[in-house]
Structure 1
């Protein structure tokens, strides 16, 4: 029986051109975040299973890959009540839960306000489909220990600067506050915490099932009047800063906080959206998403999660995070053309002495940034086009009589 040679379902290989583009995007983002004072950390790809299933990850906990304990016996299998009884570790499904654990472990070694960068793969047992993978890179920045709006301001500034540096223009930041959402639900008579959690999960489906679909689901699960609820949701979809001010359902204190944040971010297109939920149940205050008029999906998002770290540390620590949708950004960014210092030495045929080739490459490396040897092919056009996609800027041809690169012409690939 032949074995498959494709990548595991929902995961991908990356060819050189794609890998180069990914590394370019990562380099730009890392550079911007470093300039804004964020320090990069690294955490293990696995965490204790009990921590990953402690209620901090919301629905993502259901998608966690479990790692079975070593040395399991058939008796262990018989005695297990549930599959998770056989696991002691799991692959991380996001970077926020590991960050909370990291901070609780190393707080004494960290500054009182810690600005963290994490860029790393995470794993979720998603149903694979276009744009949705089981392994993907998350790109997070977080501010821990700052209770005031300075944290949100820094995060939004750094994020918009990263998008600008990548050449992605026309974005806006949709913003809301969990307190406003809870006040809205209370005006509908939904005050019990578990009922409010279910309602927010439904409202978060607004972009998928529309106002009528949300209203009908709320009517089924919570007994709300579908017609009246649909009318309210439609009005909220077109709401802005001015139209909601003074509304009887609005949490005035939370809205004032958002307006102060808006005033502190001139030049940032900050749009109030009272229907913005963000799916994670651990958010406690400000929430935000990056929107673009040309795309029906967000390019990033985050919010304040003041209660999470206290679950590990025993005392609450204010925390806010912003995650860029790295996989989506990679598809939108083109690799910039390289300078002609990036050269390719082309070999005519197999008869060129390999020792001489190595010497020619060493000579080229003395004066060029990047050098690669390529054997001459029948279809040179395709070869050169592929090299251009990988960031090479120029090439030279060498033959059996080439003893030095002096006088050899380097020609542009493009």
Structure 2
């Protein structure tokens, strides 16, 4: 007996109704991106391993899915490296390709490779799947979609303001009414490390404090110790865990804390500009909150950092992003500042499902089902179906003259709002009978009257 088929953990099949809902999310995001002047691009699912490695920090590198070399290229594996227990070199000799971890690093490679064909500032959006070798759990998948918007070629803070507005507009249009956009600045984190006398350990500090909401203060302190941060530095960091008040009050506390750090004060100035401009412009549903422990753990961020969470659902962040002044320099193109955001479509889907936010009309992807009474009636249905589709309205003809009970069950299972019946009487009178599947009401009208009201 053959084994029951299954899929890889952390991946999913999507049934038609699920796809309708997912496409609703994608189209909402896409429409807002386009409204702000972003242009669509796509990049390959696979990148060269060297393109991806070393761009996401130590933890990120471990989650990159490598693609095993095939055919004769496997013969080139560095077996000597294996014998010498140099597993990194051995792994690199086995795999020259990897599935993309996110859309940002491939985008940086894209910009460098196509720089002569692009006009800067270049605003792009990209909606494609990414892969991470993570432990599957609620809201965390190994294959999932990201919906990114990025601008490269300008260091203007106007783009931080636009991206915050995009967060607000997209999530508001999707029906979320209680969500928080958290904001910080990597320069502030650099200033904190400088004030603590641990400038050279910025990355381990940011990786640790970024976990505050997951492992708590004690867990962060423990990790800082494990990462070699001195007790004196930890003592200086401690007040930041309890920073309170509104954004203006937090800014004042940070200005005092970072008074001796030039880079830290520059980060505060950038934050003040963005916060003050957003305050004057206003947001629809979002709350904008300064969170000094927000770090996002990715090495390429250099300025603003964003993270968005739905306040009434325990699922982690649903969006994120930040500024990355030096990313394209990794591929040989310097002085190309960039800033971008990413919507986690899968987590947004889970949030909307839990909160029952999908419009009920989405369930009816097709509007009309023709009941099939026989060959003669079927021809009439096909003729009318063409006229309906010419009006850009969706419809379907049941393929066989099965029992009425079976055809109506199909209509209910598929969620058709209306069923059209064309029998002998309707054919003789050039009419149809229209049944409302929600109310159960039936109405007979001429074919021309029906077509005109579409």
Please say whether Structure 1 and Structure 2 have the same fold, judged by a TM-score greater than 0.5.
yes
1:185-334 to 2 correspondences below 5 Å = 185-192=193-200, 195-221=201-227, 222-224=229-231, 228=235, 231-236=238-243, 240-245=247-252, 246-249=255-258, 251-265=264-278, 266-268=281-283, 269-296=287-314, 297-331=316-350, 332=352, 333-334=357-358
Q: Residue 196 of structure 2 contacts residue 233 of structure 2 at CA under 8 Å; is this kept in 1?
A: no
Task: Find out whether 1:103 has 2:121 as its counterpart.
Answer: no
> Which of the pair has more CA radius of gyration?
2
Partner Cα separation in structure 2 for residue 247 and residue 309 of structure 1: 34
Whether the 8 Å CA contact 2:418–2:436 is kept in 1: the answer is yes
- Aligned match of 1:27: 27
Shift, 1:129, TM fit: 1.7
SS in 2 for 1:408: strand
How many angstroms does 1:44 deviate by? 0.9
Is 2:192–2:237's contact at 8 Å kept on the other side of the alignment? no
Aligned to 2:152: 144
Residue 37 of structure 1: how far off its partner (Å): 0.4
SS at match of 1:396: strand
5+ residue gaps, structure 1, are: none
Deviation at 1:286, TM superposition (A): 0.8
The aligned runs of 1:345-356 (5 Å cut-off) are 345-347=369-371, 355=379
When the two structures are aligned, how many residues end up with a matched partner? 408
CA change 1:399–1:148 in 2 (3 A) is same
Question: What is residue 55 of structure 2 aligned with on the other side?
Answer: 56
Higher helix share: 2
Are the counterparts in 2 of residues 345 and 373 from structure 1 also a CA contact under 8 Å? Answer: yes
Deviates more, 1:28-37 or 1:349-358: 349-358
Q: Which residue in the other structure is 2:165 paired with?
A: 157
Do 1:384 and 1:413's aligned partners in 2 also have CA atoms closer than 8 Å? no
Which residue number corresponds to residue 386 of structure 2? 362
Q: What's the CA shift for 1:225?
A: 5.7
Could you tell me the TM-score, scaled by structure 2's length? 0.81
1:288 to partner: Cα distance = 1.1
The residue number in structure 1 matching 2:414 is: 387
5+ residue gaps, structure 2: 82-89, 440-454
Q: Secondary structure at the match of 2:144?
A: strand
Helix, strand or coil: the match of 2:182? strand
Moved more, 4-13 or 346-355: 346-355
Query: TM-score scaled by structure 1?
Result: 0.88
Label 1:386 to 1:238 Cα distance change in 2 as closer, same or farther (>3 A): farther
Q: CA deviation at 1:310?
A: 1.1
**Counterpart in the other structure of 2:174:** 166
1:112 partnered with 2:127: no
User: 1:15 Cα shift?
Assistant: 0.5
Q: Deviations 1:309-355 (Å, cap 9, x if unpaired)?
A: 01113323100011112112223140451699952224367888765
- Aligned pair in 2 of structure 1 residues 336, 309: CA closer, same or farther (>3 Å)? farther
- Structure 2 contact 370–421 (Cα < 8 Å) conserved: yes
Q: Deviations over 1:347-377 (max 9, x none)?
A: 3678887655534532442456101234667
Distance 1:387 1:163, change over 3 A: same
Query: Any conservation in 2 of the 1:385–1:413 contact (CA below 8 Å)?
Result: no
SS in structure 2 opposite 1:289?
strand
Given that residues 122 and 151 in structure 2 are in contact (C-alpha distance below 8 angstroms), is that contact kept between their aligned partners in structure 1?
yes
Deviation at 1:403, TM superposition (A): 4.3
Partner of 1:38: 38
User: Does the CA-based 8 Å contact 1:42-1:118 persist in structure 2?
Assistant: yes
Which stretch shifts more, 332-341 or 82-91?
332-341
Rounded to whole Å, the distance in 2 between the matches of 1:7 and 1:341 is 27
Distance in 2 separating the partners of 1:100 and 1:309: 5
Match in the other structure for 2:184: 176
Provide Cα deviations, 1:87-116, integer angstroms capped at 9, x if missing partner. 221111100011001100111111120001
Q: Shift of residue 9 of structure 1?
A: 1.9
Q: Distance in 1 between matches of 2:74 and 2:182?
A: 52
C-alpha contact 1:345 1:395 (8 A) present in aligned 2: yes
Counterpart Cα distance in 2 of 1:22 and 1:74: 39
Separation (CA, whole Å) in 2 of partners of 1:322 and 1:340:
32
Native 8 Å contact 1:122 1:135 kept in 2: yes
Q: 1:277 to 1:138 in 2, by over 3 A?
A: same
In the TM superposition, what is the alpha-carbon distance from 1:261 to its structure 2 partner? 0.7
